Amino acid sequence: MGATDSAAAANGMNGSHGSVAQVILPDGRTVELPVLKDAAGQTFLDIRALQPSTGVCTFDPGFSSTASCQSAITYIDGNAGVLLYRGVPIEQLADKGDFADSAYLLLHGELPTKIQKRKFEIEIKTHTLVHEQLIQFYKGFKHDAHPMAIMVGVVGALSAFYSSTSEVHDPAQQLRACMRLISKMPTLAALAYKTSRGMPIIYPRNDLSYAENLLYMMHAVPCEPYKAKALETILILHMDHEQNASTSTVRTAGSSQANPFACVASGIAALWGPAHGGANEAVLKMLAEIGTRDRIPQFIAKAKDRNDPFRLMGFGHRVYKTYDPRSKIMKQICEQVLENTGVTHDPLLEIAVELEKIAVHDEYFLKRNLYPNVDFYSGIVLRALDIPVSMYTVIFAVARTVGWVSQWKESMLEAGKITRPRQMYMGQMERPFVSLGRRGDAAVIPGSEDAESLVLEETAMYGGYQRQVKAKAMAHH
């Protein structure tokens, strides 16, 4: 069997899957790759048998041209600016639905009936509390610890309290773990916030909605309805977004059959990166740096200058080549929240609106498909809701948990292999071991800090910890 036949046979492909594409390899061999179509009609080349049958791998850093899985959860058309949750447009969910509608839809595939929705909401409220021993875990973090650092630890630690979730292929245990994660995330987030501020914790109230509960546990008082509605919309807009960095991380961890709490903790860690979850904070800093509307042209010029490090934050997206559909909704929410708070002239909003007007009519940005994304206005909304900057990515994580567990649950239904990408090796080939006495006299470790300063830093931190322990012991006696 030649390369042409083996590639198709290894996948069990036949004519029902569509046509084949012929690829000519550098050595002159021709290989036929099955051509697949998704529900939207997009074309994919099935390359699974390429390496086993020919020894040739593909190279796609960042996976921008590679589909890592099949999914029926979220659809994005980046050229048309379309975002669908299970086929339902994001605009309709944000306008007509609520948190329970969207979460149930992503998790189960259909919008709930009245009875299903009521049961779903009751189950969420049933699982909002966390074990008191987990609350003790929070006390081990420094008071100035970043809330995301705390979240990575405590979400992973949930697996120590729910050992049954190790049965990752049991549908009942899967759903139970998903519901626990969705339910407990607002509580865990609020606890992380209170810990980072050294403030007493607030327990959840089951008479409040999902968004109301989160704001209540953060601020200790019930919020105004418009604030709860604004936060609920933010949660809906951020619930899922196809195979982004954090979602792909969750699926990758899940492919090893890790428990769902560990998988979601890995997603939180990926989301913490400023290139993923911290963009709205960067937008606020940029708007503050611009300062006034009359300075916008100056910063537009800086953004166009290749030699200038300044970049317009909140513009452009890896997928969207036009307006991010979520950004238009976020702008409306921003205007409504500021109107309800009585802020008639918010300097940052005025700069943002003017910046958007200029950028979307500038040929430089149009050619590069640099349109406002969901992060452009979300920071202003969160600030108006009295949510501190350190919690912006945590709020993102609370919302995205619905998507993470939905994607994880879907991936558990697949008979897939553990994720194991290839690499293009660019290092040295085999060479002999050199004995220590023949390795030269170099004293500095390349790229490392001075060892003495690191020792002093660690000693100071440990010494501070010892002083705290002694102070507590003396107070106890």
Choose among 450, 387, 352: nearest CA to 186: 387
The answer to whether the Cα torsion of 64, 67, 72, 77 is positive or negative is positive
Burial class (CB in 10 A: 0-12, 13-18, 19+), 228: buried
Instruction: State how far the alpha carbon of 301 is from the alpha carbons of 278, 355, 365, 398, in Å.
Output: 24, 12, 11, 37
User: Side chain identity at 360, as an amino acid letter?
Assistant: V
**Alpha carbon distance 237, 402 (integer Å):** 11
386 part of the active site: no
CB 71 within 8 A of CB 29: no
Active-site annotation holder among 317, 362, 450, 477: 317
CB burial readout 164-191, b (16+ within 10 A) else e:
ebeebeeeebbebbbbbbbbbbbbbbbb
CB 355 within 8 A of CB 370: no
Task: Report long-range pairs for 109-118 (Cβ below 8 Å, ≥24 apart).
Answer: 109/72, 110/86
DSSP H/E element including 43: strand 43-45
Stated length of the chain: 477
Place of tokens 């089951």: 206
**Alpha carbon distance 300, 357 (integer Å):** 12
**Alpha carbon distance 229, 312 (integer Å):** 29
Rounded to the nearest 10 degrees, the angle between the axes of helix 225-237 and helix 392-412 is 50
**Alpha carbon distance 241, 326 (integer Å):** 11
375 part of the active site: yes
**Alpha carbon distance 159, 174 (integer Å):** 13
Active-site annotation holder among 46, 240, 346, 375: 375
Give me the active site residues, please.
Answer: 317, 375
